[in-house]
Structure formats: C-alpha cells, structure tokens
C-alpha cells in the first residue's frame, strides 16, 4: 500500500504541483492539504481517489504559485483618499511647527499599506483553475496507482514463496505427527509394563478407554488438514484480481490459530520444532500482508 507520485502543471498565470504518498492502513484514510479558495476541489479529488483505492493512509498535497506577470494589482481609492488627507494634515502640522517636509512622491504614497491591493486569488481564478488542477491530479493518481502496483508485484513474489515454504513445513508436520504416533504407542506400552511389574493388571476396558482419550486429545490430523485448506485458499487469493488485503488478514489469523493448537498438542520435539517454524513464518507473512491492498 506504500506509494509515491508527483505531477506539475501550469496555466491561467499560475503553476502548481501535486504530490501523493501513502503508508499502510487497515482502511482507506485520505488526508488533503489543498488551497481552500478553489471551491469543490477536495470533494472531486476524494471521489476520484476512492474509485481507485481501497486501503492505505494517503496524504495528498497541492501547492499553487501565481506567476509574477499574472499577479493582480488594483488601486484602493478609499485608502488612497485617507492617505492623502493624512499627508495633508501632517504637512499643515509641520508648517505650524516650522518644519520642512520632504516632497512626497507617488511611489511613497503607493508604498503606504492598503493603497494598493495585491490580489493573489479570486473566485474567477478558482473556477478557471479547478479543472486544470484536477487534470494534473488525475495524472498524479495514475502514477501513484502504478507505483503501488509495482510494489504489489514484488510483494506477491515474496508471499508466493512463503506460501510454498509453508506447504513444505506442513508436510514436515504430517511426517513428524506420524513418527510421534509410533513413539507414543511405545511409551504407553512401557508405562503399562511398569504397572504390571508393580501391581495387578488394570481393567482392560478402562485401559483401552484411557488410551483412546489420550490419542484423541493429542491428535493433530484436523489441524494439519485445516492448514492444507488454508494454503489452498491463500493460493486462490493470489490469483484473484481486486482488493484481497482484508481476506488475507483473516486467513493469517486462521493460520496462526492452527499453528498454536499444533504446538500445544505436539508432545514431540520434532513436531514442536515444526510448529515454531510455522509460527515464525506466519509472522513474516503477516508483515507482507500489511502491505496488500
């Protein structure tokens, strides 16, 4: 979901730049830094981005600068009148005090604050600029989506390799579980033999029942089968088009649940080692999944 793009434009005596950048996010969070004097710019831009993005925390910035040749300058006649009246009053007061006043030039008067209006923006400017700025933003959005797509291709390659490795670990878990069954049977037989050495033969029906309960309690066949099913679902998701990030989030939770159960039932050094490798791999996959839209 991370990406960056920038685009520039110019027209109507203005130049502008558009930047879009994003980081991972559970949903789509759009944040804008825009000129507020272009009416309706944010709603139109938000709508265009929501149509093409599904996840990520996205920051959008647009900066405009007026060309010097296009800067509007107008005379504030009321401010000019007030300035002339004040200058005349100053001249009269100075003469009364016997002071001589330097002749005031037109440039001096123009420099008085408020006499000249340096108009940077107007509603006319905003209306004329809006479609031009939106066109540049559309170009920037194309580049932004392309940048995120390139990142997505790289993540897909990494994630595909991790899914294949998980498949091999599940095969190892199945083999370790099979070996564990034989080891468990031998351990039970040794325990029974010790009981026979120190006491009477236990009730056969009760013994059979206890052995069956132990076998059911420690059986990991269902967990391994569900992990196989989740791997098939992950491979199917990799082949889908559109947004799959939230589906992968849920699938990683299921992977983690089965791996935890596998470790808790293992009763075997080999199976525990495979379970821990699975959990480490799942954590690595989760980091990649956070980048998926």
Residues 6+ apart with CB under 8 A from 271: 173, 176, 177, 180, 220, 262
More confident residue, 137 or 200: 137
Least confidently predicted of 31-35, 103-107, 163-167, 221-225: 103-107
- Domain residues for 198? 150-289
The answer on 189 and 77 residing in a single domain is no
The answer on 213 and 135 residing in a single domain is no
pLDDT at 41 over 70: yes
- Could you report the per-residue pLDDT of 53-63, keeping only the tens digit for each? 988 899 999 99
The answer on 177 and 44 residing in a single domain is no
> How many folded domains does the chain comprise?
3
The answer on 195 and 77 residing in a single domain is no
The answer on 138 and 51 residing in a single domain is yes
The answer on 47 and 134 residing in a single domain is yes
The answer on 115 and 51 residing in a single domain is no
The answer on 189 and 130 residing in a single domain is no
The answer on 131 and 196 residing in a single domain is no
- Could you report the per-residue pLDDT of 78-100, keeping only the tens digit for each? 888 888 888 888 888 888 888 87
The answer on 258 and 162 residing in a single domain is yes
CB 207 within 8 A of CB 251: no
The answer on 163 and 57 residing in a single domain is no
Name the burial class of residue 126, with classes exposed (0-12), middle (13-18) and buried (19+) by CB atoms within 10 angstroms of its CB.
middle
Residues 6+ apart with CB under 8 A from 128: 12
What is the pTM assigned to this prediction?
0.63
The answer on 272 and 155 residing in a single domain is yes
Q: Is the dihedral of CA 153, 154, 158, 161 positive or negative?
A: positive
pLDDT at 193 over 80: no
């Amino acid at each position: 979901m991370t990406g960056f793009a920038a685009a520039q434009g110019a027209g109507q005596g203005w130049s502008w730049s558009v930047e879009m950048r994003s980081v991972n996010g559970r949903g789509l969070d759009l944040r804008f830094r825009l000129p507020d004097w272009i009416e309706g710019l944010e709603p139109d831009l938000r709508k265009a981005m929501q149509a093409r993005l599904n996840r990520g925390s996205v920051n959008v910035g647009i900066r405009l600068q007026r060309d010097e040749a296009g800067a509007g300058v107008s005379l504030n006649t009321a401010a000019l009148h007030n300035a002339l009246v004040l200058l005349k009053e100053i001249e009269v007061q100075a003469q009364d005090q016997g002071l001589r006043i330097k002749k005031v030039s037109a440039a001096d008067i123009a420099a008085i604050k408020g006499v000249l209006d340096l108009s940077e923006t107007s509603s006319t400017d905003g209306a004329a600029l809006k479609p031009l700025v939106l066109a540049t933003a559309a170009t920037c959005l194309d580049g932004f989506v392309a940048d995120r797509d390139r990142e997505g291709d790289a993540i897909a390659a990494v994630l595909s390799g991790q899914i294949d490795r998980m498949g091999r670990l599940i095969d190892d878990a199945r083999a370790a579980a099979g070996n564990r069954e034989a080891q468990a049977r031998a351990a039970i037989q040794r325990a029974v033999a010790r009981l026979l050495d120190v006491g009477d033969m236990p009730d056969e029906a009760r013994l059979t029942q206890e052995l069956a309960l132990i076998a059911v309690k420690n059986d990991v066949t269902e967990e391994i089968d569900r992990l196989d099913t989740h791997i098939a679902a992950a491979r199917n998701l990799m082949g889908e088009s559109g947004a799959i990030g939230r589906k992968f989030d849920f699938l990683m939770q299921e992977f983690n649940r089965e791996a935890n159960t596998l470790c808790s039932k293992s009763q075997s050094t080999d199976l525990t080692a495979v379970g821990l490798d699975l959990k480490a791999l799942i954590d690595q996959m989760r980091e990649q999944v956070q980048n998926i839209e």
